[in-house]
Amino acid sequence: MWQQFLVYAVILVTLGLMVWGRFRYELVALASLTVLAVTGVLEPTEVFHGFGNDAVLSVVAILVVGQALRGAGITEPFAVGLLRFGGGAPGQTLALSSTVTFFSAFMNNTGALAVFLPVAVHVARATHRLASALLMPLAFASLLGGLITLIGTPPNILVSSFRQEHTGQPYSLFDFTPVGLVVAMAGIMFLSLVGWRLIPKRRGSVSTHSLLRLQSYFSELRVPEASQLAGRPLRDFELLDLDVNVVGLVRGGRRIAAPPAFEQLEVDDLLLVEASGGELQKLIDKSGLELGKRRSIGEEDFGGDDVDLQEIVVAKGSPLVGRTAKGLRMRWRYGVNLLGISRQGSRVMRRLSDIRFRGGDVLLIQARTEDMADLLRQLKCFTLQDKAHSVAWPKLLLTVSIFSVAMVSVATNLVPLGFAFMAAALVVVFLRVVSVREAYTAIDWPVVLLLAATIPMGTALEKTGGADTLAHALAGLAVWVSPTGAVAVVMVSTMLISNVINNAATAVLMAPIAYKLSVDLGTSPDTFLMAVAVGASSCFLTPMGHQCNILVLGPGGYRFSDYIRLGLPLSLLVIAVGLPMILLVWPL
């Protein structure tokens, strides 16, 4: 009995720490798993069970295959069509939401949103509308898309894996479709006709203007012969310990945007630097540079054929989160100049190098064009600039063929999900559709670690009888609310928990409780497991509920309450539509 109470205590502490957000989810889960192992609740072999679980391997493989599809340009024809799409806000919301929902059904929903996020920003700017009216519906649509298929979202895969362990049969690829498709269609219609009107008019960092209007923050400095920096490389600026960015260099009439750190300064070079008034004076005093002529500075000063200027969004799991530009040494380690930060629609005016980044921040950065794509993958950030990309048709056709074979194999129960997509992932890497580095970067390692650590916690809940105890308590409620009411309780409980912790972890913890409850009531476990799957992916109430919600936080300039204003009626709609559909397709 003491072990059962210990498991409850560990889970409650884990949930509390995840809600607090002070520590990373995966570290909290790994620490909790360690406690269960040290106390003897879990055997050594059970501790590492999650790392070899089919669900975890399936998520890894699907992420790699999804990256291959995106890299080959599968979304480009759709993006081009959406950019040409006219109409008012309802029509734009319908077109964008429908498209991202479709792609989210077959690839990672965060990746699908990342592809169409700059498209939505471009549409908002082109039609002189606030991006806030489009971005939150787009994020919610990506979550709705995950409900449609087995591979649409990790909770579906986890619920299917749990079903296989307890009944011997996993869900097939399209078992989720009858319920998920109807819920998604209802959600899209709500977002398009009513939902976008519920969002307050927020002037986010990507409204009709952008962070690119920064002329007043730059000065031109000349390198005199007496300067201590003459004849020395640019990286020596770091030794001055000042909040200064060198964003351009003019030498003999030739302009060099974002000069490399090893570039050696020469006498009479003109440097375009970003610095506050106080920092600029300190720079002149310490280095002996001379203030040059003031002139009008435009976007062309920061970019060129080989240098790019982009607004990017910091994702929740980015290595930037909680760090500062100074601590990361962004200029010298990554070759990135940080030119501006916007947080929830307001430009941050403090010393940039000392600001700790948060998920959802919008950064204006300058870097070499050839490095930009790799930087975005490395830093796990997403661009807001919509740039035309050509479709690599040979790669695209090859990848779609591989993806289709994997899907057909799973749909016909020829091979298990994990095997089919792991084989597909290996093939796309072997055929160099994606490089090994791109494949590793595509994998969301924090989520993988979180899944691997929480799956044994679900095992501990079952092993100690904790799931039985909670299920008996809920079965007692069913005397008053009926089995149908019990299904509703499971769905709503899962939905609420998924709004404060990772939805995959929510599915792992709720699946055994839901299964035991179905056994106690003598009903079909599928009804309750489907309620868990729908509830886990319906996290619309908070920005921290899902990565997609975080991604639109800064660009849309949203406040916490904005998610409730749109997310609450959408959540109620999901319950109103999803519960009857589950009972119809998966009867008690």
CA–CA separation, 435 vs 440, rounded Å?
9
CATH 3.30.70.1450 segments of the chain: 215-301, 309-383
pLDDT in tens, 35-55: 988 888 888 888 888 887 888
219 φ, ψ (degrees, to nearest 5): -135, 160
pLDDT at 388: 56
For residue 471, CA distances in Å to 122, 326, 478, 512, 517 come to 49, 51, 10, 9, 4
One-letter amino acid of 477? L
Nearest CA to 184 out of 92, 98, 96 is that of: 98
CA–CA separation, 121 vs 118, rounded Å?
5
Q: DSSP secondary-structure letter at 135?
A: H
Q: DSSP secondary-structure letter at 431?
A: T
pLDDT at 479: 60
CA angle in degrees (0–180, nearest 5) for 525-531-537? 135
Contacts of residue 231, defined as CB under 8 A and 6 or more positions apart, other chains included, come to: 264, 265, 266
pLDDT at 203: 64
pLDDT at 294: 47
pLDDT in tens, 133-168: 889 999 999 999 999 999 999 999 999 999 998 998
Q: DSSP secondary-structure letter at 178?
A: H
One-letter amino acid of 452? A
One-letter amino acid of 393? W
Are 159 and 183 in contact by the 8 Å Cβ rule? The answer is no
CA–CA separation, 63 vs 181, rounded Å?
22
Domain 309-383 in CATH 3.30.70.1450: yes
Contacts of residue 495, defined as CB under 8 A and 6 or more positions apart, other chains included, come to: 535, 536, 538, 539, 571, 574, 575
Residues facing 233 on adjacent strands: 264
221 φ, ψ (degrees, to nearest 5): -125, 140
293 φ, ψ (degrees, to nearest 5): -75, 140
Q: At which residue do the structure tokens 């003999």 appear?
A: 252
pLDDT at 212: 52
What is the number of alpha carbons within 13 Å of residue 485 lying toward its C-beta?
9
Q: At which residue do the structure tokens 């005093």 appear?
A: 285
SS3 343: strand
pLDDT at 281: 76
Q: What is the mean pLDDT of each run of 10 residues along the chain (588 residues)?
A: 82 83 83 89 84 86 87 77 70 90 90 85 78 90 95 93 91 95 97 88 56 57 85 80 78 79 85 72 82 56 68 85 83 79 69 80 84 83 71 84 92 88 92 88 85 87 83 72 88 91 89 91 94 95 87 85 93 97 94
Topology classification of domain 215-301: Alpha-Beta Plaits (3.30.70)
Q: At which residue do the structure tokens 């790994």 appear?
A: 30
Name the token pair of 295: 């002139």
Cα(first)–Cα(last) distance of the chain, in Å? 32
